[in-house]
Amino acid sequence: MVEVAKIVTLQHFLTVKKLQVEQVESLIARATFFKNGGAVPQFETPLYAANLFFENSTRTHCSFEMAERKLGLQTIPFDPSTSSVSKGETLYDTLLALESIGVNLAVIRHSQNEYYRDLVELTPPQKLEMGIVNAGDGSGQHPSQSLLDMMTIAEQFGSFTGLKVVIVGDLTNSRVARSNMELLQRLGAQLYFSGPRCWYSEEFAAYGTYRPLDEVLPQMDVVMLLRVQHERHQAEADFSAASYHTKYGLTEKRYAQLKEKAIIMHPGPINRGVELSSSLVEAPKSRFTTQMQNGVFMRMAMLESVIRGRHLGGR
């Protein structure tokens, strides 16, 4: 029998910063319940979601839409480039329009850090009743990626206590690193950072230790590679993909030094031959496809938590 997990309830799902360990554990348990074929909730009233992606996405966008469909939600198509945002309509006014026509949940990816703050701290007469789920804000937070990563690690190791995890690469620009360091520290993992020194800053020191990759790699349980975010770097003249791969990438030689039970993770999209050798994307220690599979079930758990937290969909 599939064990039913406790359901977390939230008004919005914006960041992992305020999530308690018990809530993370419940979300992992609930997502695992869905993954194992547990019954999806039957909502008593129809629910409508809109996915507003102001930055490009494949995984997160399609995964949220899959999660919505699996939960029985109706998804209202929204494309910023053909919407009235292109005529200057604000994000608040866009959501007001969507809410007025009956949308209950907005899943939003935006380039502005904490874009959601102005939407959830409104001054009357402005108000929004819809639930907001953050699908990534600038270099701030990526809650759904982080929680699916925690689910993937939990599946492999059962517990986080004492696990050695290194996050490698484009730290400065990474909402994945910022979300994962919060949760990994709270869950009891021992965290390291690596990659180019210029992409590390003291902001990360409260969460882990910066070390050269080749020094830490043989001791690590989890190697989390970050995408080099070319679109967020101003001047790229100095960047050499081949040089990055040699110095900081997971090459086949480095892969051979990993612990027997170690896993490698990447949020995607992968720059093949940069963060890791193309031949390693589907390697036995790679959890790249598992992360994407788990994302659907974790996003179901996250959407459900906001639906229940806002008492949408009946009982």
Shortest reach from residue 268's CB to ligand CP, in Å: 5
**By rule CB under 6 A, what string of x and - marks binding of each residue 83-102 to ligand CP?**
--------------------
How far is residue 97's CA from residue 94's CA, in Å, rounded to a whole number?
A: 5
Residue among 265 and 312 whose Cβ is closer to ligand CP: 265
DSSP code per residue over 198-212: GG--GGGTTT-EE--
Query: Between 288-309 and 143-157, two packed helices, what is the crossing angle to 10 degrees?
Result: 120
Whole-number Å distance between alpha carbons of 180 and 266: 12
Rounded Cα distance between 115 and 85, Å, is: 15
Residue 267 interacts with ligand CP (CB under 6 A)?
A: yes
Q: Which member of 268, 299, 304, 305 binds ligand CP (CB under 6 A)? A: 268
Position 229 contacts ligand CP (CB under 6 A) = no
Q: Is the dihedral of CA 219, 223, 228, 232 positive or negative?
A: negative
Q: How far is CA 264 from the centre of its chain?
A: 16
How far apart are CB 46 and ligand CP at their closest, in Å? Answer: 27
User: Between 296 and 312, whose beta carbon lies closer to ligand CP?
Assistant: 296
* 111 touching ligand CP, by CB under 6 A: no
DSSP readout, 123-144?
PTT----SEEEEEEETTTB-HH
Does position 169 interact with ligand CP (CB under 6 A)? The reply is no
Among 23, 57, 229, 293, binds ligand CP (CB under 6 A): 57
Site string for ligand CP, 202-221 (x = CB under 6 A): --------------------
Instruction: Select the span of 38-46, 95-103, 238-246, 263-271 touching ligand CP (CB under 6 A).
Output: 263-271
Q: How far is the CB of 56 from ligand CP (least distance, A)?
A: 7
Task: State which of positions 115-154 bind ligand CP (CB under 6 A).
Answer: 136, 145
Please, what is the minimum distance in Å from the beta carbon of residue 269 to ligand CP?
5
Q: Are strands 131-137 and 164-168 parallel, antiparallel or unpaired?
A: unpaired
Cross-strand partners of 108: 52, 134
- Longest Cα pair distance anywhere in the chain, in angstroms? 61
CA count, 13 A, side-chain hemisphere, 162: 1
How many binding residues for ligand CP (CB under 6 A)?
10
* Beta carbon nearer to ligand CP, 62 or 97: 62
Interface residues toward ligand CP, by CB under 6 A:
57-61, 136, 145, 267-269
